[in-house]
Amino acid sequence: MFSEFFQFTFSGITLGAIYALVALGFTLIYNASHVINFAQGEFLMIGGMGTVVLVGAGLPLPAAMVGALVLATVAGILLHRLAIAPARDADVVTLIIITIGASIFLRGLAQFFWGKEYHALPRFSATESLSIGGATLLTQSLWILGIAVVLVVALAVFFSRSKLGKAILATSMNKDAARLAGIKTQVILGVAFGISALLGAAAGLIVTPITFTAYDVGIMLGLKGFVAAAIGGLGSSTGAVVGGLLLGLSEAYTAGYISSDYKDAVPFVIILAILFFLPNGLFGSRAAERV
Amino acid sequence: MKTMLKNLAVGAVAALGLASLSPVAKAEDPIRIGSFLSVTGPAAFLGDPELKTLELYVHQLNENGGLLGREVQLVHYDDSGDASKARTFVTRLLRQDKVDLIIGGSTTGATMAAVPVIEQARVPFISLAGAETISTPVKKWVFKMPQSDRQAARRVLTDMKERGLTRIGLISGTGGFGASGRNVTLEEAKAMGIEVVADETYNPKDTDVTAQLTRIRNTDGVQAVLNFDFGQGPAIVTKNYKQLGIELPFYQSHGVASDSFLKLAGDAANDLRLPATALLVADTIPDSDPQHGVVTGYKKAYEDRYNSSVSTFGGYAYDGFQLAVQAIKQAGSTDPAKVRDALESIRGYVGVTGTYNLSAKDHMGLSYDSFRILEVKDGHWTLVE
């Protein structure tokens, strides 16, 4: 009885940790520009697939990981430079649509150059899983959760302490005022895209031992991550983690206690309920719109 | 060389004799075999080895003097997995290229889109796609090479029954393949007196199914578990199964009978069983096996030519082409009605997929035991006797 409950909980934590890590990637670009970057899932894919491809090319695993992270960061900066920056005067909705186009483009490139096969990466710890109270938990889930927490703290420090973080926040609050204060807003946005891609690629790398990776893995992970971010409140990194865990746990409990057929429906009901009563999400800012 | 010749024997050796007797052979019109396959796009893993196989064996046939003393020409179009393109290309094959016979349709969608056009034009068509609807009910001009998922289900359930496992748990993906596999498994299990005591599903893109597997494990009296799906989902199910330490015998479907599944699932795949064609164990199949010659011959010919490993799907194209050659030879002409009748009358053709016994009632011709039960041992497929 209890071992069953533990197992469903661990299952939910595994799912939730993945969603949370993906959701974190959305917060940075959203904070900088209020754009929801739908190409975030493709950064994850570049992290996982890039590593696989570089390992295949003969690089040792750690070097391949670093290579994939660099590749994703460059892709993020190029995405801003080539697609977002030229449309700088367009409204936010247009920019969001541009990111959707970019995601399809990146997926196409990966499919063409890297193939369509699924690949796996080895887990980080030697032990595969821990047994607690008759249930098992993957060590990789703990890595994911731990790294998510580290990133939350790092992002909080980055936004409140560093000049760059403050500049990003200033740009999001009022672009014109930020520019008058001497902030190069386009450079700041480019940096935000680069860091966000780096975060995404790191997430993609860490989750690959559990989820596997392929050119289209970003669609599902990106979507679930976005949902987690929306539940938690877009732009809040604590919210992203809580939202991710909430989503993962609700999926696991539904599959475990109700029926696996309804597993995908329940999270959507939760999202509808949360967005209906708390349109800004659980941790979103409730600041009044300036008129 | 000897095995290669043996494999070609189906059509080529006789044709060689004919060709040497009639030096004017090349002057006659070539025999035109039409083909539409998904060589690019999402189903490229099907169409690519299929086209390579057809090209390889058409070339070999012509090297050995062609068929009925005539050259064989392959007219091919790539439908890139798009059913409406498949229909357009089939129309072109029939009206413009005036082909004598069609081998193609990598996917069920492409095949079914082409069927009405072909039935109207009255040209024999050998489909390489798997769904039961292609050959049930029987369509006069349509034949198909792969087994249906119903045969896979029956093969697995038969193996379970032989091991005394009659109360099973089922976990399937909600995609087309998994959902159809779930239905036929439930039907076949009922017919065979096997009870499905747990019936769980998951989304093909899910990354963790331990909750569903825990439910199955905690079901009273469950003796074995079957996962029916294809793609990366079954690899995740397999890993989770191992993670939970479930000791019950574990089965997968023919949907993951490939080396790439072993690579994804790693150690967790050890001891699981699944139904597959003999091609997967070509290296270890005993000499006494009736399929030994044809399977090793095809594998060697394909891998020597293309330097990539052979797949079940290319095997369908091999069987389709050999059956077509045999039917044309038997008919002694390319008259569509005669070739069709000849195809329908072929019994006991030993191919790489299995032994085909075609008839007016059965345009697929394989029985469920053409599937072999394989077990994974130390990361390799082994044949279960």
Mark yes or no for CB contact A136/B210 under 8 Å: yes
Token pair belonging to B6: 């043996």
* Average pLDDT in chain A: 88
Share of chain A above pLDDT 70, in %: 97
Helical H runs in chain B? 2-8, 12-21, 44-63, 83-95, 108-121, 149-162, 176-192, 210-217, 233-243, 259-265, 292-306, 312-331, 336-344
Q: CA–CA separation, B215 vs B88, rounded Å?
A: 48
Residue B5 binned pLDDT confidence (cut-offs 50, 70, 90): very low
Nearest to A15 among B208, B212, B244 (CB): B208
Q: Which two tokens stand for residue B54?
A: 């057809």
What ipTM was estimated for this complex?
Answer: 0.83
Instruction: List the single residue in B201, B214, B215 with the smallest CB-CB distance to A261.
Output: B201
Report the alpha-carbon distance of residue A74 to residue A198 in Å, rounded: 9
Ordered alpha helix ranges (H), chain A: 2-33, 40-56, 61-79, 92-114, 139-161, 163-173, 175-180, 185-211, 217-232, 237-253, 265-277
How does residue B25 score in pLDDT terms, banded at 50, 70 and 90?
very low
Residue B247 to residue B29: CA distance in whole angstroms: 63
Q: What is the pLDDT of residues B74-120, one digit of tens each?
A: 999 999 889 999 999 999 999 999 999 999 999 999 999 999 999 99
User: Average of pLDDT values for A179-191?
Assistant: 90
Is residue B370 over pLDDT 90?
Answer: yes
A238: how many CB neighbours lie within 10 A of its CB?
16
Which pLDDT tens digit goes with each residue over A120-175?
898 888 888 888 888 888 899 899 989 988 988 998 898 889 999 899 888 888 88
At residue B252, the pLDDT reads: 96
Cα(A64)–Cα(A83) distance, integer angstroms: 27
The answer to whether A7 touches B244, Cβ cutoff 8 Å, is: yes
Using alpha carbons, list the distances in angstroms from residue B120 to A120, A200, B113, B123.
Answer: 47, 54, 13, 8
Q: Is pLDDT above 60 for B11?
A: no
User: Residue A287 has what pLDDT?
Assistant: 52
Q: State residue B161's pLDDT score.
A: 95
Q: What is the pLDDT of residue B27?
A: 52
Residues 6+ apart with CB under 8 A from A218: A40, A41, A42, A43, A44, A45, A103, A107, A204
Residue A137 within a domain: yes
CATH 3.40.50.2300 domain position(s) in chain B: 2-148+286-368, 149-282+371-383
**Which pair of tokens denotes residue A114?**
């890297």
- Kindly state the helix (H) or strand (E) to which residue A138 belongs, with its residue range: strand A135-138
Beta partners for residue B251, in sequence order: B226, B273
- Is the model's pLDDT at B4 over the cut of 70? no
Q: How many CB atoms lie within 10 A of CB B301?
A: 20
CA distance A262 to chain B (A): 10
Compare B271 and B206 and report the one with higher pLDDT. Answer: B271
Residue A288 has pLDDT above 50, yes or no: no
Q: How close is the nearest chain A Cα to the Cα of B200, in Å?
A: 6
> What's the pLDDT at B26?
47
The predicted model gives B272-298 an average pLDDT of 93
pLDDT at A286 (0 to 100): 54
Could you tell me which of A55, A18, A10, A78 has the C-alpha nearest to residue A203? A18
Predicted pLDDT at A274: 83
In a domain, A14, yes or no: yes
Cβ of B211 within 8 Å of Cβ of A8? The answer is yes
Q: Is A219 exposed, middle or buried (0-12, 13-18, 19+ CB in 10 A)?
A: middle
Per-residue pLDDT reduced to its tens digit, A214-245: 998 998 889 889 989 988 888 888 899 999 99
pLDDT surpasses 50 at B361: yes
Residues of A in contact with B246 (CB under 8 A): none
Query: How far is the alpha carbon of B20 from chain A, nearest alpha carbon, in Å?
Result: 46
Domain residue limits at A92: 2-219
Instruction: Quote the CATH superfamily of domain B149-282+371-383.
Output: Response regulator (3.40.50.2300)
Per-residue pLDDT, A285: 66
pLDDT value, residue B307: 87
Average pLDDT over residues B142-164: 95
Whether A174 is covered by a domain: the verdict is yes
CATH number given to B2-148+286-368: 3.40.50.2300
Q: Are B238 and B202 in contact (CB under 8 A)?
A: no
Q: Cα dihedral angle (A19, A25, A30, A31), rounded to 10 degrees?
A: 120
Question: Residue B63: pLDDT band by 50, 70, 90 thresholds?
Answer: very high
Q: What is the CA radius of gyration of chain A?
A: 19
- What is the DSSP pairing of strand B273-276 with strand B372-377? antiparallel
**Strand order through the sheet with B167-173:** B195-202, B167-173, B224-228, B250-252, B273-276, B372-377, B380-383
**CB under 8 Å to A163, separation ≥6 — which residues?**
none
Considering its fold, how many domains does chain A have in total? 1
The pLDDT, as a whole number, for residue A72 is 96
B18: confidence class by pLDDT, cuts 50, 70, 90? very low
pLDDT on residue B159:
96
Give the model confidence (pLDDT) of A21-55 as tens digits.
889 888 888 888 888 899 999 999 999 999 999 99
Q: Angle at Cα B16 formed by Cα B15 and Cα B21, nearest 5°?
A: 95
- What is the reported pLDDT for B23? 42
pLDDT exceeds 90 at position B258: no
Task: Calculate the average pLDDT of chain B.
Answer: 90
Note the pLDDT of residue A243.
Answer: 92
B207 contacts in chain A (CB < 8 Å): 14-15, 18, 207, 210-211
Distance of residue A22 Cα from the nearest chain B Cα, in angstroms: 14
What is the rounded CA–CA span in Å between residue B84 and residue B153? 31
Q: How many helices (H) and strands (E) does chain B have?
A: 13, 14
Does residue A269 lie within any of the structural domains? Answer: no
Which DSSP category does A247 fall into? H
Measured CA distances, A19 to B187, B217, B247 (Å): 37, 27, 30
Partners of B36 in the β-ladder: B77
Tokens 């009273």 label which residue? B220
Report yes or no: A172 and A189 within 8 Å, Cβ to Cβ.
no
A291 pLDDT higher than 80: no
Closest residue, chain B, to A138 (C-alpha): B243
Res B137 pLDDT > 70 = yes
Q: Answer with the residue of higher pLDDT: B385 or B191.
A: B191
pLDDT of residue A276: 85
Number of residues that this document lists for chain A:
291
Establish if A57 belongs to a structural domain: yes
Residue A239 lies inside a defined structural domain of this protein: no
Percent of chain B with pLDDT over 70: 93
Decide if A11 and B208 are in contact by the 8 Å CB cutoff. Answer: yes
